[in-house]
Chains A and B, each alone.
Chain A
Amino acid sequence: MATTKTLRVNGKAVTATVDDPATPLLYVLRNDAGLHGPRFGCGLGQCGSCTVHINGEPVRSCTRPLSSVGARDEIVTLEGLGTKEKPHKLQTAFIEEQAVQCGYCINGMIMQAAAFLKKNPKPSVPEIKTAMQNNLCRCGTHMRIVRAIKRASEA
């Protein structure tokens, strides 16, 4: 039975109609809200490239069923975190450090790090590594990502 649901995404209302309430949030964000930030990597919650914030908490949207997201929940994606005109300090730091290669994982890296820095604004390098432990990068950009997060924390 198709159900229609309205979500709050980056401060705007997004309405989607899905057949199955277990549909992962990721597909609604990408296909109904037309967002490019959250990315499909594994669909298993293992790699982190689909990370978004729900009420400030980092969430793997590829395994988060739509049914578990309420109309009042605030969903923020990479596009909502900051823009070219008003960048988040992590986005600025990633550019400063050139902490991107292919960039496919970078959505998850920035979203995970943004939630982490809210809880731990002045982390050590080992704390950063542990916080990012479950986000995978295949290009091997790790050194720069750590530097960018450290830089953002000092900004």
Chain B
Amino acid sequence: MNAMFEKTFPRRDFLKGAGALVVGFTLANSMRASDAAAMEIGPYGPPVDQVDSWLAIGEDGRATLFTGCCELGTGSSTGLMQIMAEELDVAFDRVRLVGPDTSRTPDQFVSSGSRTISAHSRPIRQAAAEARAALVELAAKRLGVPAEQLATANGVVSVKSDPAKKVTYAELVGGKQFSVKVTGKVKPKATNEYKIVGKSVRRVDIPEKVFGTFTYMQDVKVEGMLHGRIVRPPAHGASVVSIDESSVAHMPGLVKVVREHDLVGVVCKREEQAIAAAQALKITWSNWADLPDMKDLHSTLHNLPEYSEGYPKDAPGGVLTKSGDVDAGLTNAAKVVRATYLSPFNHHASIGPSCAVADVRADGTTLYCGTQTPYGTREAVAKFMGLPNERVRLIYTEASGCYGQNGADDVTIDAIVLSRAVGKPVRVQWSRADENGWEAYKAARISECVGGLDQNGKIVSWQARTFGSSGYSRPEYHEPKHGGEPGSLVTAQLAGWDKPGLEEGFSGAAGNFEPVYEDMPNKRVVFTYLGPTSHRQGPLRIRVGSMRGVGSPDNIFVAECFMDELAAAAGMDPIEFRLKHQPRPRGVAVLKAAAQLAKWETRPSHSKPSSGDIAYGRGVAMLGSNTDTNVAGIFEVAVNKKTGVVQVQRAVIAQDCGLVVNPDAVKNQIEGGIIQSISRALKEEVTFDRSRVTSLDWSTYPIITFNEIPDAIDIVLVDRSDLPPMRVGEPASESVWPGVANAVYDAIGVRLRQLPLTPARVLAGLAGNA
């Protein structure tokens, strides 16, 4: 139980009595006022008078990083440790990391959007640079040599002209306590000095995960812990009419049946007892059947009222881009193309359903959970309990991979309600059906495009409009706004919390809808916002939230499929057509790199019809911006015209994500994103009846299996180490949906505009009913 000991060991005790050089965040925190977004430090960390730190160097010369960033199974903590080791000039294996704990680590907002390295590592890098400078100052005094004549390497400060004259960090720290304030004035290393950053260091978490010694959230045990299970309504809007407690009174191990409004659960001594009691508990629920018919989902979305107060000031009416005169462009066009694209709800489909342990006591609450927003969730939970923030301690514990907002936050409310009712610590483990039934789904979409081409195959009008809900229903805002609200959690809604959740408007879901091409004079791109929606509130009564890219994958699916449709209408090769409309320079570079690696054959799509059962095709998609990662993806597919099955045989990804901290970890993320997105492109669709979501297990929500993965995923990372590190997890995955759909068009000559590209839809398309 070393991991648990580590997690519950108070930080101040950890440092007490032993020598250490501690880099405090108090000054870094005050820097926030002038440079909030750049430093990514929130206001909700430990109080500044309880000296806390970004990092500490012990008298053994080992360095400990205290971070508010959540390791979500991507390897980001290894990257942070590389950055710290690099900047400190200590060996990588002399560094360790302590993850989020609201009583001992800084507030680093939400760990999402592939931003741990690209954004949240910056203050850590700065703190490490300051620590190294402080150690050099100490060495200068000790050795009697000016600081500029000293060099650092491997935890040792030595005199440049006489390397035998040296002192170790451990010797410098000795048994004493040093407190260093971040000044922001120390300059971190130049990229060309890097020795650890840029290397494929092996991930620190992998050995424990393959030996079965890792402590996931689902493994957390605390003294005297009981087991809880919840019983959700059988319909999204149903309420408790009555509970027959006698139905479980005889059951062994039962401690209590708990009800707060429509949140119902059981607490038992053993886990299997709780499962049995939850199954046996007889509850009469009210009838509710107000979901739309699933076949009318997209027309329903199209007809929902616009949520006009959700638009930000810089996008009134949801207009993201407006330039030139789209109507005049269309009137003068030689060819006009129209298309409507549809995408479904998706499950996050984390392999491990959500779990939390809560210990609610009179003097304070301790909460273990696998959130992405330790401080926001802590605040939301504290509000729910009517407590000040400091009376709730949230200890982040890595759970199953999350890919966005699964039930990790919601389950904390369940655990608190049950623990509060029995006065003992309670572990709540959601079932597979609880997770699929009540998490926040990737939002479904309907999008409409109209485009015009002139005689030369040039786009003279581009109009795109999508109808989408919020991409964000976390209990915490993205920075720089901050705070936590229980109203964002469906479990709090079930428990009767009637104040609204946070509402960030549509901005989280509108990313990357604007075309990446500079030479497109007349455009109008609109995101019609339908507002937030939850099982218990809002217009649709199906809950949506963030999932890998939030709205961006849907937006890119539309933009890059439509680009392909216009290329085909112009009779041009899809890559030549894209280049003709001038992507930004980094976009051109990745597009050309992908084409070269894929040995792209220049010709218009679609390909010549094949005589056999299998039709082969290739498709391309690209995305990016000047300040973010640029990706081009090329996908080769085989379509079985008899069965309708699409197999992606090869994916080729060219990515420019600036400085690469750990190339193998980046490739691991790209491969994973590609495979997950192929699964979503070809197979995945949340299903529902008039009362509830019905895709509640792996047979009703199948995901990709080993026989369906590509034969190869070839990746080229374009060397731009002159640029800062940028996002690596999400962007490549977002090229998949349009790239695969374009490849299917290339193979069979039929344009499929509704995801997923199931065999039934392929066969319908081939039969002329797409």
Q: Which residues of A contact B73 (CB under 8 A)?
A: 101-104, 139
Q: Flag if A104 contacts B431 (CB, 8 Å).
A: no
Q: Which residues of B contact A71 (CB under 8 A)?
A: none
Cβ-neighbour of A91 out of B72, B210, B350, B664 (below 8 A): B210
Task: Tell me if A122 counts as interface (CB < 8 A to partner B).
Answer: no
Task: Tell me if A13 counts as interface (CB < 8 A to partner B).
Answer: no
Q: Flag if A142 contacts B709 (CB, 8 Å).
A: yes
Task: Tell me if B272 counts as interface (CB < 8 A to partner A).
Answer: yes
Task: Tell me if A77 counts as interface (CB < 8 A to partner B).
Answer: yes
Q: Flag if A143 contacts B350 (CB, 8 Å).
A: no
- List residues of B (697-728) whose CB comes within 8 Å of A's CBs: 697-699, 703-707, 709-710, 713
| Closest Cβ–Cβ distance, residue B223 to chain A (whole Å) | 14
Cβ-neighbour of B207 out of A95, A129, A133 (below 8 A): A95
Binary per-residue interface labels of chain A (103-119) against chain B in the complex, 1 for a CB within 8 Å, 0 otherwise: 11111001000000000
Q: Flag if B351 contacts A138 (CB, 8 Å).
A: yes
Q: Which residues of B contact A27 (CB under 8 A)?
A: 270-272
Q: Flag if A36 contacts B219 (CB, 8 Å).
A: yes
Cβ-neighbour of B206 out of A83, A100, A137, A142 (below 8 A): A100
Q: A40-B429, A49-B351, A140-B674 are in contact. Are A35 and B212 (CB under 8 A)?
A: yes
Q: Which residues of A contact B209 (CB under 8 A)?
A: 100, 103, 106
Task: Tell me if B216 counts as interface (CB < 8 A to partner A).
Answer: yes
| Closest Cβ–Cβ distance, residue A95 to chain B (whole Å) | 6
Q: Flag if A144 contacts B668 (CB, 8 Å).
A: yes
| Closest Cβ–Cβ distance, residue A47 to chain B (whole Å) | 6
Binary per-residue interface labels of chain B (349-363) against chain A in the complex, 1 for a CB within 8 Å, 0 otherwise: 111110000000000
| Closest Cβ–Cβ distance, residue A80 to chain B (whole Å) | 9
Task: Tell me if B300 counts as interface (CB < 8 A to partner A).
Answer: no
Cβ-neighbour of A143 out of B399, B673, B709 (below 8 A): B709
Q: Flag if B211 contacts A79 (CB, 8 Å).
A: yes
Q: Flag if B403 contacts A98 (CB, 8 Å).
A: no
Task: Tell me if A123 counts as interface (CB < 8 A to partner B).
Answer: no
Q: Flag if B698 contacts A46 (CB, 8 Å).
A: yes
- List residues of B (261-275) whose CB comes within 8 Å of A's CBs: 270-273, 275
Q: Flag if A146 contacts B211 (CB, 8 Å).
A: no
Tell me the count of chain A residues lying within 8 A, CB to CB, of chain B: 59
Q: Flag if A139 contacts B672 (CB, 8 Å).
A: yes
With the chains together, A93 CA to B83 CA distance in Å?
27
| Closest Cβ–Cβ distance, residue A77 to chain B (whole Å) | 7
Binary per-residue interface labels of chain B (663-686) against chain A in the complex, 1 for a CB within 8 Å, 0 otherwise: 011001101111110010000000
| Closest Cβ–Cβ distance, residue A34 to chain B (whole Å) | 8
| Closest Cβ–Cβ distance, residue B244 to chain A (whole Å) | 21
With the chains together, A76 CA to B214 CA distance in Å?
17
Cβ-closest chain B residue relative to A142 = B709
Q: Which residues of A contact B707 (CB under 8 A)?
A: 129-130, 133
Q: A19-B273, A101-B74, A101-B668 are in contact. Are A138 and B403 (CB under 8 A)?
A: yes
Q: Flag if B671 contacts A140 (CB, 8 Å).
A: yes
| Closest Cβ–Cβ distance, residue B267 to chain A (whole Å) | 15
Q: Flag if A2 contacts B703 (CB, 8 Å).
A: no
Cβ-closest chain A residue relative to B674 = A140
Q: Flag if B697 contacts A140 (CB, 8 Å).
A: no
Q: Which residues of B contact A104 (CB under 8 A)?
A: 73, 216, 350-352, 399-401
Q: Flag if A78 contacts B673 (CB, 8 Å).
A: no
Best-surrounded residue of A106, A110, A140 (most CB of chain B within 10 A) = A140
| Closest Cβ–Cβ distance, residue A111 to chain B (whole Å) | 10
Best-surrounded residue of A37, A42, A133 (most CB of chain B within 10 A) = A42
Task: Tell me if A41 counts as interface (CB < 8 A to partner B).
Answer: yes
Task: Tell me if A56 counts as interface (CB < 8 A to partner B).
Answer: no
| Closest Cβ–Cβ distance, residue A133 to chain B (whole Å) | 5
Task: Tell me if A31 counts as interface (CB < 8 A to partner B).
Answer: yes
| Closest Cβ–Cβ distance, residue B581 to chain A (whole Å) | 31
Cβ-closest chain A residue relative to B348 = A138
With the chains together, A121 CA to B348 CA distance in Å?
35
Q: Flag if B668 contacts A23 (CB, 8 Å).
A: no
Q: Flag if A20 contacts B276 (CB, 8 Å).
A: yes
Q: A44-B698, A143-B709 are in contact. Are A107 and B432 (CB under 8 A)?
A: no
With the chains together, A39 CA to B353 CA distance in Å?
11
Task: Tell me if A87 counts as interface (CB < 8 A to partner B).
Answer: yes
| Closest Cβ–Cβ distance, residue B695 to chain A (whole Å) | 13
Q: Flag if B272 contacts A138 (CB, 8 Å).
A: no
Task: Tell me if B203 counts as interface (CB < 8 A to partner A).
Answer: yes
Q: Flag if A98 contacts B432 (CB, 8 Å).
A: no
Q: Which residues of B contact A35 (CB under 8 A)?
A: 212
Q: Which residues of B contact A37 (CB under 8 A)?
A: 212
Q: Flag if A101 contacts B210 (CB, 8 Å).
A: no
| Closest Cβ–Cβ distance, residue A126 to chain B (whole Å) | 8
With the chains together, A122 CA to B215 CA distance in Å?
33
Q: Which residues of A contact B710 (CB under 8 A)?
A: 143
| Closest Cβ–Cβ distance, residue A81 to chain B (whole Å) | 8
Binary per-residue interface labels of chain A (72-90) against chain B in the complex, 1 for a CB within 8 Å, 0 otherwise: 0000011100111001000
Q: A20-B272, A130-B707 are in contact. Are A43 and B432 (CB under 8 A)?
A: yes
With the chains together, A79 CA to B276 CA distance in Å?
28
Task: Tell me if A63 counts as interface (CB < 8 A to partner B).
Answer: no
Task: Tell me if B202 counts as interface (CB < 8 A to partner A).
Answer: yes
Q: Flag if A91 contacts B211 (CB, 8 Å).
A: yes
Q: Flag if A98 contacts B351 (CB, 8 Å).
A: no
Task: Tell me if B538 counts as interface (CB < 8 A to partner A).
Answer: no
With the chains together, A137 CA to B665 CA distance in Å?
17
With the chains together, A79 CA to B710 CA distance in Å?
32
With the chains together, A47 CA to B270 CA distance in Å?
24
Task: Tell me if B317 counts as interface (CB < 8 A to partner A).
Answer: no
| Closest Cβ–Cβ distance, residue B111 to chain A (whole Å) | 13
| Closest Cβ–Cβ distance, residue B406 to chain A (whole Å) | 10
Cβ-closest chain A residue relative to B200 = A98
Q: A47-B351, A49-B351 are in contact. Are A143 and B210 (CB under 8 A)?
A: no
Q: Which residues of B contact A105 (CB under 8 A)?
A: 351
Q: Flag if A24 contacts B272 (CB, 8 Å).
A: yes
Q: A24-B272, A101-B672 are in contact. Are A36 and B213 (CB under 8 A)?
A: yes
Task: Tell me if B245 counts as interface (CB < 8 A to partner A).
Answer: no
| Closest Cβ–Cβ distance, residue A48 to chain B (whole Å) | 9
| Closest Cβ–Cβ distance, residue A149 to chain B (whole Å) | 10
With the chains together, A153 CA to B74 CA distance in Å?
27
Q: Which residues of A contact B675 (CB under 8 A)?
A: 140-143
Q: A139-B676, A140-B675 are in contact. Are A98 and B668 (CB under 8 A)?
A: yes
| Closest Cβ–Cβ distance, residue B170 to chain A (whole Å) | 26
Q: Flag if B202 contacts A132 (CB, 8 Å).
A: no
Cβ-neighbour of A84 out of B207, B353, B400 (below 8 A): B207
With the chains together, A142 CA to B219 CA distance in Å?
25
| Closest Cβ–Cβ distance, residue A140 to chain B (whole Å) | 3
Task: Tell me if A14 counts as interface (CB < 8 A to partner B).
Answer: no
Task: Tell me if B507 counts as interface (CB < 8 A to partner A).
Answer: no
Binary per-residue interface labels of chain B (330-364) against chain A in the complex, 1 for a CB within 8 Å, 0 otherwise: 00000000000000000011111100000000000
Q: Which 10 A-B pairs have the closest CB atoms?
A: A102-B73, A140-B675, A37-B212, A102-B401, A103-B209, A140-B672, A78-B212, A104-B400, A46-B698, A129-B706
Q: Could you pull out 27 A-B pairs where Cβ atoms are within 8 angstroms?
A: A2-B252, A18-B270, A19-B270, A20-B272, A31-B270, A41-B432, A42-B697, A44-B697, A84-B211, A91-B210, A91-B211, A95-B207, A98-B202, A100-B209, A101-B75, A101-B401, A102-B350, A103-B210, A104-B352, A104-B399, A104-B401, A106-B209, A138-B351, A138-B401, A139-B401, A140-B673, A141-B668
**A residues touching B (Cβ–Cβ < 8 Å)?**
2, 18-20, 23-24, 27, 30-31, 35-37, 39-44, 46-47, 49, 77-79, 82-84, 87, 91, 94-95, 98, 100-107, 110, 128-130, 132-146
